[in-house]
Amino acid sequence: MKIDIKLFGQVKDYFPTQQLEFVMEKDSITVEEMKAWLTSQALCPERSRALIQDSALATDTRVLQSQEVISQGVLFVLPPVCGG
Amino acid sequence: MGFVHCEITDDVLTPAKSWELLQNNTQGAIIWFLGNVRDHNEGQKVTAVTYEGVHSLGENVLRKICEECHEKWGADLGLLVSHRVGTLGVGETSIIIGVASSHRVAAYEASRYIIEQVKLRLPIWKKEHYASGAQAWLRGNSLNG
C-alpha cells in the first residue's frame, strides 16, 4: 500500500521535507504498528523517535486511535498540541 | 440548536467581526475570551509566535467541543471559536471565543470549557521567536489515543 505522511509542528524539523511517501508490502497496518515502522526507517533520525511515539496519527478529518487499521491514503503525524 | 461558528483562519481576528456573527437579541449573557500573544515566556523576551494548524481537522475538533457544550449547558447556546494561524506579533489575537446564553453561569462555564479543551485537543502548534534570535516549539499535550 502507498502511504503519504504529512508532518506538523516540531516533528517536521527532523526531516528534510514536510511530506513523505512510502510504499509498504502490507495491505493494512494499525496506527501503533505504523508508528513503530516509521521510527524504524533509516530516514527517521534517532532523536525524533521518542517524539513520533508521543505523536498521534490522523486523517484530515479525525484523530485515529492506536488500534485502528490504516489501509492507504494521507496520514498526518501530530506531535503534542498547544493551541490557544 | 444554537448558532455555531468554528474556524481555523489565516486572517486577522477582530472582536468587531466576531461580535457581528454572534450578536442576537435572544441571549442575555455574552462572554468573550481573547487570547493574545504576550511579550515574555519563561524568562525570555518574545517577539512573535508562529501558530501552525490543520484546518479541516482542527475545525472538526472545534465543532466537537461545541457539541459537548450544547450537551452540557443547553442546545440554545450560541458559540463562536476562531483560531488564527501564521506568525503573529506581540499583542495580536490568536483566539477568540464567544458564548451567548440566556444565563451568565452557562456562558462563563462554557467559555472556560472551550479554552481548556482547545489547549488539550486542538491540533495547533506554537513556535516562539525570541529577542535573542532563537526560536523554540512549545511543549504540548499528546493526542495519543
pTM recorded for the entire structure:
0.95
Q: Which of A54, A59, A81 sits opposite B121 (nearest CB)?
A: A81
* 3-state per-residue secondary structure call for A5-66: EEECHHHHHHCCCCEEEEECCCCCEEHHHHHHHHHHCCCCCHHHHHHHHCCEEECCCCECCC
**Interval B49-106: pLDDT, tens:** 999 999 999 999 999 999 999 999 999 999 999 999 999 999 999 999 999 999 999 9
Banded model confidence at residue B36, pLDDT cuts 50, 70, 90: very high
The Cα A29–Cα A70 span in angstroms is 5
> Other C-beta atoms within 10 Å of A1: how many?
14
Residues of B within an 8 Å Cβ radius of A: 35, 51-54, 56-58, 60-61, 83, 94-95, 115, 118-127, 137-145
- The three cell numbers of residue B60 are 472538526
**Interval A22-71: pLDDT, tens:** 988 889 999 999 999 999 988 889 999 999 999 999 999 999 999 999 98
The Cα B56–Cα B54 span in angstroms is 6
The Cα B32–Cα B52 span in angstroms is 23
Q: Which residue of B has its CA nearest to A61?
A: B57
pLDDT at A42: 85
CB contact under 8 A, B54 and A60: yes
**Interval B110-138: pLDDT, tens:** 999 999 999 999 999 999 999 999 999 99
pLDDT at B115: 98
Contacts of A76 in chain B (CB under 8 A): 54, 57, 123
CB contact under 8 A, B140 and A65: no
